[in-house]
Amino acid sequence: MRANEPDPLSFFGGSTHAPAVRRFLLIALALVVAGGGFVAWKLNDRPSLEVMQPRVLPEAPPRANEPRIRFLGVSTIAIGDGESTLLVDGFFTRPGLASVLLGKVAPDDEMIRSGLARAGISKLDAVLVAHSHYDHAMDSAEVARQTGALLVGSESTANIGRGAGLPEDRMRVVEETTETTEMTFGDFRVTLIPSKHLPHGMAMGEIEAPLEPPARATDYLEGGSFSMLVEHPRGTMLVQSSAGWVDGALAGRKAEVVLLGVGGLGMMDEGYRAKYWSEVVEPVGARRVIPIHWDDFTRPLEDPLLPMPRMLDGLDATLAFLEERTAASGIDLAWLPIVAPVDPFGARPGAEP
Ligand SMILES: [Zn+2]
């Protein structure tokens, strides 16, 4: 090649070093392709859901005054009794990995509308936000707007509401560090108990001003975390969205069923998992544990939910831990079907009576 002839593979046009540059670029390209292929392969390496299948609670059609819950991915859980309906978190947009890591995210009105419709929700009494990370809180204000719900959460969550233009009288700000807050919605009594997030250190801190989307996923700062006790004449549930705790915070509380957030739990050590169990499941005397926050929330809700890739969360370790702990303590380990309504307190076929 002559010195002035442009080399199609070179960024530098003509160069006396063209063959060396070309070799370098080819090697770099091969490395990028191989690296990308390796990451793509690793992102598809996921634990199997088969062990959960026999433990999935049966669908139970809605019935007046009977609580039903619906799992809508991550820790988005609809809880209703035909009279009142509550939604924990309310995350439907589930943006893809590229926009989460490199771009900006924003609530998708259409995905929220179709997610709510799939769950049979047209009207909500409250959206109860456990903490303000995007995979819990990003859509909460839009959900409240579409359903007429009161948005309940920390000051950070209220700043998500303000950024979405939700009026102050449609929000209830809950103190997230010391006080316990009780609220009543029909036959449901909800108690928000200050808790802690899994200690991964990502996007911690407070959202201090109204947050207007689109924003970076990491702009959705945690803003404090809650445990939620949901009491109903038919039974009591504890919803623990994030795998953290405050020592002794649940002492004296009672719940038959714990919806146990396991996101990131597989990356922690055995001692951490044991302490989480003894601070969240044991104090309330649960007879059933239902894991939540196990799915890969960079995939849309219309697609089958898949567990997090092994490289991002060690769900195998979590599953082994849960199997061992529930078997040792006689607690029923159950899973929720996607979207379908279930009776959280009802029998699971095949379970010990
Ligand atoms: Zn979080």
Structural domains for the chain: 46-333 (3.60.15.10)
**Chain segment 9-45, per-residue pLDDT in tens:** 444 444 556 788 888 888 888 888 887 777 777 778 8
Determine the distance separating the centroid of ligand 1 and the alpha carbon of 148, expressed in angstroms.
25
Can you give the pLDDT at residue 224? 94
Q: Which residues pair with 63 in a beta bridge?
A: 66
DSSP state of 28: H
Determine the distance separating the centroid of ligand 1 and the alpha carbon of 223, expressed in angstroms.
10
Determine the distance separating the centroid of ligand 1 and the alpha carbon of 310, expressed in angstroms.
18
DSSP 194-232: EE---S--TT-S---S--PSSB-GGGS----EEEEEEEE
Determine the distance separating the centroid of ligand 1 and the alpha carbon of 154, expressed in angstroms.
14
Determine the distance separating the centroid of ligand 1 and the alpha carbon of 101, expressed in angstroms.
15
Determine the distance separating the centroid of ligand 1 and the alpha carbon of 326, expressed in angstroms.
25
Beta pairing class for 235-240 and 225-232: antiparallel
Can you give the pLDDT at residue 353? 53
**Three-state DSSP class for residue 335:** strand
Q: Is the pTM of this model over 0.85?
A: yes
Can you give the pLDDT at residue 2? 46
d(C-alpha 10, C-alpha 16), whole Å: 11
Determine the distance separating the centroid of ligand 1 and the alpha carbon of 242, expressed in angstroms.
6
**Three-state DSSP class for residue 162:** helix
Give the N- to C-terminal CA distance of the chain in Å, as an integer: 81
Determine the distance separating the centroid of ligand 1 and the alpha carbon of 2, expressed in angstroms.
58
Question: Is the peptide bond between 194 and the residue preceding it cis, with omega within 30 degrees of 0?
Answer: no
**Amino acid found at 124:** L
Can you give the pLDDT at residue 153? 97
Can you give the pLDDT at residue 201? 76
Determine the distance separating the centroid of ligand 1 and the alpha carbon of 222, expressed in angstroms.
6
Backbone angles phi, psi at 60, to 5 degrees: -130, 115
Q: Could you tell me how many helices (H) and strands (E) the chain has, helices first?
A: 8, 13
Determine the distance separating the centroid of ligand 1 and the alpha carbon of 18, expressed in angstroms.
50
Determine the distance separating the centroid of ligand 1 and the alpha carbon of 62, expressed in angstroms.
30
Determine the distance separating the centroid of ligand 1 and the alpha carbon of 203, expressed in angstroms.
8
Q: Which residues pair with 152 in a beta bridge?
A: 128, 172
Determine the distance separating the centroid of ligand 1 and the alpha carbon of 81, expressed in angstroms.
28
Candidates 208, 209, 217, 204; CA nearest to 106 is 217
Q: Which regions in the chain score pLDDT beneath 50?
A: 1-4, 6, 8-14
Determine the distance separating the centroid of ligand 1 and the alpha carbon of 76, expressed in angstroms.
13
Conformation bin of residue 13: beta by default, left when phi > 0, alpha when psi is -120 to 50 = left
CA atoms 34, 40, 42, 48: torsion sign: negative
Determine the distance separating the centroid of ligand 1 and the alpha carbon of 145, expressed in angstroms.
23
Q: Which tokens go with 271?
A: 């001692």
Determine the distance separating the centroid of ligand 1 and the alpha carbon of 198, expressed in angstroms.
7
d(C-alpha 89, C-alpha 161), whole Å: 13
d(C-alpha 322, C-alpha 336), whole Å: 15
Determine the distance separating the centroid of ligand 1 and the alpha carbon of 266, expressed in angstroms.
15
DSSP 237-304: EEEE-SS---TTTTTT---SEEEEE-TTGGGS-HHHHHHHHHHHTTTTT-SEEEEES-B-TTS-TTSP
Determine the distance separating the centroid of ligand 1 and the alpha carbon of 267, expressed in angstroms.
14
- The CA-CA-CA angle for residues 91, 97, 98, to 5°, reads 125
Determine the distance separating the centroid of ligand 1 and the alpha carbon of 197, expressed in angstroms.
6
Determine the distance separating the centroid of ligand 1 and the alpha carbon of 295, expressed in angstroms.
13
